Amino acid sequence: MTELNITLLAGGVGGAKAAEGLAASHYAKGTKIIGNIADDDEFHGLWVSPDIDTLMYSLGDQIDRQQGWGRKNETYQVLKELAALGQDTWMTLGDLDLATHIYRTHLKKQGVSASEITRRLSKRHDVSVPILLPTDDVVQTRVKTPQGWMSFQQYFVREHCQADVVEIEYKGIEEATATSEALEQIANSQLIVIAPSNPIVSIGAILAVPEIQAAIEKSQAYVIAISPLIGGKTVKGPADKMLEAAGKSIDSKGIYQCYSRFLNALVIDGADGQDALWLEDQGLDVLVTPTLMNTTQEKTRLLTQVVEFAMSRQLDSLTTRQANRRSS
């Protein structure tokens, strides 16, 4: 089998499921992941990069599979002591996990780029699929609720996504520069897969890095997204509230609208099958299949099916796709 050059755009938990599916498939060797750094934040003076760590721990089989984030066999001695010292400890950082954040912060202070730090951490966890960053600059998602602006982690972890979302911004995005690795990877890809991640915060923050979305629009790759909604509902997390705040409908159509400028195909669950005709009318290829991924087998099956579907459609002439893109 010839090696396909595949890019996966991925957030945290939904992103890691797709990443694991590709990593366990026949297509692992040609795959690189572009992860999200806009959920990053500082706790106890340490730089934490939750989505990158979720990808890394998942692919390195170090993840706590019950919760989908954090390390397995984790303990919380340091956090307990920080609580005793009167510190805010709503961000659950375990002892093993803290070593990652200490290491990242230490290297960052020495001027090592976030991409290089990710490479070194990935090596320690035997992650064989490269995790690229969209930018080495600091970009942070901020969420406006009726109570005012807060960081993404404050909204997500401290407030448990309870409040309504009024507005979202990616602080620092205008000054951010895309990494050459990410731009090269996009340009060299035959296939770009968008994980069933939050389209507004996880994927939205990757696309918002200047040059990244333009690179995808310009690339000859076939772009296929897996919807993070099943039966019009999120499996977990605030994607529904965020779609609404962005003025998109909370269904496959809303997901399509987030990616309409470059999307060739959307993968939707059978529970959303009623949307297929409308999506096809927009010129999209549509794959209707079970998209809930809990086991390794489910992840591998879905991602293999997604790649094979995309490749079968890829045989359609490039000119048709380019024409579709121009008229969208």
Interface residues with ligand GDP (CB under 6 A) are 11-15, 17, 51, 54, 195-198, 202, 226-228, 230, 234-237, 239, 291-293
Closest CA to 193 of 67, 69, 82, 291: 291
User: Residue 39, interface with Ca ion (CB under 5 A)?
Assistant: yes
The residue (of 90 and 316) whose beta carbon lies closer to ligand GDP is 90
Cα separation of 41 and 18, whole Å? 24
User: Residue 51, interface with Ca ion (CB under 5 A)?
Assistant: yes
The residue (of 251 and 321) whose beta carbon lies closer to ligand GDP is 251
User: Residue 53, interface with Ca ion (CB under 5 A)?
Assistant: no
Q: What count of residues does the chain have?
A: 328
The residue (of 71 and 321) whose beta carbon lies closer to ligand GDP is 71
CB 38 within 8 A of CB 205: yes
Q: How many CB atoms lie within 10 A of CB 93?
A: 22
| Residue that is written with structure tokens 């893109």 in the block | 325
Max CA distance (Å), the chain: 64
Nearest approach, Cβ of 216 to ligand GDP (angstroms)? 18
The residue (of 87 and 290) whose beta carbon lies closer to ligand GDP is 290
The correct pick among 12, 94, 228, 238 for binding Ca ion (CB under 5 A) is 12
Cα separation of 123 and 166, whole Å? 40
Nearest approach, Cβ of 108 to ligand GDP (angstroms)? 21
Nearest approach, Cβ of 153 to ligand GDP (angstroms)? 11
Cα separation of 308 and 263, whole Å? 17
Nearest approach, Cβ of 57 to ligand GDP (angstroms)? 12
CB 145 within 8 A of CB 164: yes
The residue (of 11 and 196) whose beta carbon lies closer to Ca ion is 11
The residue (of 179 and 202) whose beta carbon lies closer to ligand GDP is 202
Positive or negative, the CA dihedral 62, 65, 71, 77 is negative
User: Residue 204, interface with Ca ion (CB under 5 A)?
Assistant: no
CB 54 within 8 A of CB 118: no
| Segment lying near Ca ion (by CB under 5 A), choices 32-40, 68-76, 254-262, 306-314 | 32-40
Binders of Ca ion: how many residues, by CB under 5 A?
Answer: 4
Phi, psi of 44 (to 5 degrees): 55, 35
Nearest approach, Cβ of 86 to ligand GDP (angstroms)? 29
Q: Helix %, strand %, coil % for the chain, to 5? A: 45, 15, 40
Closest CA to 200 of 247, 161, 136: 247
Closest CA to 307 of 98, 15, 25, 10: 25
The residue (of 11 and 228) whose beta carbon lies closer to Ca ion is 11
User: Residue 40, interface with Ca ion (CB under 5 A)?
Assistant: no
Which of ligand GDP, Ca ion, none sits in contact with 234, Cβ below 5 to 8 A by type? ligand GDP
Nearest approach, Cβ of 33 to ligand GDP (angstroms)? 11
Contact positions vs Ca ion (CB under 5 A): 11-12, 39, 51
